[in-house]
Amino acid sequence: MIRPILVTGGDGQLGTSLCGLPVPEGYALVAPGLDVLDFTRPETIDAVMASRPWAAVINGAAHTAVDRAESEPALAWTINAAAPARIARLCAAAGIPMVQVSTDYVYPGDKDGAYVEADAVGPLGVYGASKAAGEFAVRAAVPRHVIARTSWVVSPFGNNFVKTMLRLGAERPELRVVDDQWGAPTSAQDLAAALLQITCRLIEAPDAPTGVFHTVNRGETTWRRVAEAVFARAAHHGRTVPVVTPIPTSDYPTPARRPLNSRLSTARLEQAYGIVLPDWRDGVDRIVDQLLQTETTVR
Ligand SMILES: NC(=O)c1ccc[n+]([C@@H]2O[C@H](COP(=O)([O-])OP(=O)(O)OC[C@H]3O[C@@H](n4cnc5c(N)ncnc54)[C@H](OP(=O)(O)O)[C@@H]3O)[C@@H](O)[C@H]2O)c1
């Protein structure tokens, strides 16, 4: 018998990466599109949840436009808090586990050193606050839950920092990039592989570890250093390397405040699940290679 796992946000960076993975034998990933599962229409959540005997839910859908969330808080709260709460109640009723994907933006970023899961949250904006509320609802409703807090998600898909740098780097000789926010860019593909492993454990083992787990690529860096890593790798594909000038966050004002410190300790994930994501540079290199492979081949 095939055990179906519901993946929400199937067209996003994480969802696309999940759907591209080899699925362990006996499982199937099912990722309905927005026309079938729309978090702003709660009845679609009820219908999808009732449509199959799901083995688990991985909730990867979110309102991720951090700046736009400041001007459309109701929508952000509907998608990031109310919808996960509804899914959580239905998972609890069905007795199945739920994996809720969350964010470093639940933290205020003023800690000295890496955050651990037991640290207090203190979001700086609407996005982080709505995601923290989503976490709370899942934790309260679903006994077998995992909340995977990740950071700075990048991939060959959708919109993300790596793709933006490659585009701007091809257009401009010099770029100014923020250099005082610390964290780890996380490859959606590495994140997806970790989440699928966690989900299968939750399904198969009633005593699988539950709770909050930081799920990020290894290492720490700043956006400026990520940009330089992107361009260094792109140079292998024949791209010209632009000059990258470091700037403070204060020189790049945005509607939403960002945490200056997004360093997340992954010790708990390693101890509980034996999962260690690769170094962030590996992830970035693979994404640049995937994006520029065609370019190199065509040359
Ligand atoms: N991106 C980051 O840097 C980052 C950092 C930390 C944590 N996270 C978390 O990681 C998870 C995955 O993020 P991601 O980067 O894959 O995000 P993404 O690329 O923005 O994808 C989000 C997905 O959610 C879907 N979605 C949006 N509104 C929806 C609605 N009303 N109903 C149903 N689905 C809806 C989107 O559908 P459409 O594409 O059709 O709009 C998309 O498939 C999220 O939980 C996010 O909060 C992301």
**What integer is the mean pLDDT of 189-203?**
98
Between the CA of 60 and the centroid of ligand 1 the distance, in Å, is 6
Is the pLDDT confidence value at 175 over 50? yes
- Report whether residue 157 contacts ligand 1, using a CB cutoff of 6 Å: no
**Ligand 1, from 7, 41, 153: best to mutate by most atoms within 8 Å of Cβ?**
153
How confident is the model over 229-245, as pLDDT tens digits? 999 999 999 999 999 99
**What integer is the mean pLDDT of 126-133?**
98
- Which domains are assigned to the chain? 3-160+186-218+264-278 (3.40.50.720)
Percent of the chain with pLDDT over 90: 97
**Ligand 1, from 14, 18, 49, 214: best to mutate by most atoms within 8 Å of Cβ?**
14
Query: Which residue has 């205020």 as its token pair?
Result: 108
Is the pLDDT confidence value at 298 over 70? no
**What integer is the mean pLDDT of 272-282?**
98
How confident is the model over 70-83, as pLDDT tens digits? 999 999 999 999 99
For residue 99, CA distances in Å to 148, 194, 240, 275 come to: 7, 11, 41, 16
- Report whether residue 259 contacts ligand 1, using a CB cutoff of 6 Å: no
Supply the pTM of this predicted model: 0.96
Q: What is the 3-state secondary structure (H, E, C) of 213-237?
A: EECCCECCEEHHHHHHHHHHHHHCC
Between the CA of 240 and the centroid of ligand 1 the distance, in Å, is 32
Between the CA of 235 and the centroid of ligand 1 the distance, in Å, is 30
pLDDT at 295: 67
- Report whether residue 12 contacts ligand 1, using a CB cutoff of 6 Å: yes
- Report whether residue 79 contacts ligand 1, using a CB cutoff of 6 Å: yes
Task: Kindly list the catalytic residues.
Answer: 127
Side chain identity at residue 227, one-letter code: A
Question: Residue 1 — very low, low, confident or very high, per pLDDT cuts 50/70/90?
Answer: confident
Percent of the chain with pLDDT over 70: 98
Between the CA of 15 and the centroid of ligand 1 the distance, in Å, is 8
- Report whether residue 264 contacts ligand 1, using a CB cutoff of 6 Å: no
Nearest 5 degrees, angle CA 175-CA 238-CA 12? 65
**What integer is the mean pLDDT of 276-285?**
98
**3-state DSSP call for residue 7?**
strand
How confident is the model over 23-64, as pLDDT tens digits? 999 999 999 999 999 999 999 999 999 999 999 999 999 999
Residue 145: which of 153, 131, 134 has the closest Cα?
A: 134
Q: Give dist(CA 134, CA 145) in Å, integer.
A: 12
**What integer is the mean pLDDT of 96-111?**
98
Question: Residue 299 — very low, low, confident or very high, per pLDDT cuts 50/70/90?
Answer: very low
pLDDT at 297: 59
Is the pLDDT confidence value at 97 over 90? yes
- Report whether residue 14 contacts ligand 1, using a CB cutoff of 6 Å: yes
Is the pLDDT confidence value at 210 over 80? yes
Closest protein CA for atom 17 of ligand 1: 12
